[in-house]
């Protein structure tokens, strides 16, 4: 027959293991993504934030080529010198208001292919600011 102290010790160990497991699983969640996760979570590789600068509705330095591997986390910061309507990632159908700068976008690269990233200007026109290539 086990003592009360032994039972309490085993219970404390089980609770500690559950807490550690919870913390580890929380760290692998889709933080800041577009909320379109389907199925079980997959491992993603986080990359540094890429900065795109837009002045007067045009990309500074021309259209940027961005390359990621499928499964990586795409982190973008779009800096604007004036308010615009939105930033749009085609294919992923991610749209963020661009009334204030910077505009932050973070999402997992779940779709492979080539996708335009545009600024939809306040005057109703748009301009490509980057081309996102996601390798399979």
Indicate the pLDDT class of residue 3, thresholds 50, 70 and 90.
confident
CA-CA-CA-CA torsion sign (73, 65, 113, 115): positive
Architecture of the domain whose range is 45-135: Sandwich (2.60)
Position with higher pLDDT, 25 vs 122: 122
Per-position DSSP letters for 36-59, written without gaps between them: ---SS----EE-PPEEEEEETTEE
Predicted pLDDT of residue 47: 73
Whether 109 contacts 70, CB under 8 Å: yes
Give the span between the Cα atoms of 97 and 120, in whole angstroms. Answer: 9
Residue ranges per domain, the chain? 1-31, 45-135
This model's pTM is above 0.85: no
Q: Residue 113, exposed/middle/buried by CB under 10 A (0-12, 13-18, 19+)?
A: exposed
Q: Is the pLDDT of residue 59 over 90?
A: yes
**Average pLDDT, whole number, for the chain?**
81
């Amino acid at each position: 027959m086990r003592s009360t102290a032994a039972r309490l010790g085993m219970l404390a160990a089980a609770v500690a293991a559950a807490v550690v497991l919870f913390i580890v699983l929380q760290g692998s969640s889709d933080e800041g993504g577009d909320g379109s996760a389907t199925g079980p979570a997959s491992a993603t590789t986080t990359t540094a934030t890429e900065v795109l600068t837009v002045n007067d509705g045009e990309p500074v330095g021309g259209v940027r080529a961005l390359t990621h591997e499928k499964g990586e986390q795409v982190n973008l910061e779009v800096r604007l010198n004036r308010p615009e309507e939105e930033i749009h990632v085609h294919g992923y159908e991610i749209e963020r208001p661009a009334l204030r700068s910077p505009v932050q976008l973070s999402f997992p690269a779940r779709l492979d292919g080539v996708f335009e990233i545009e600024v939809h200007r306040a005057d109703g026109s748009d301009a490509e600011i980057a081309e996102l290539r996601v390798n399979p």
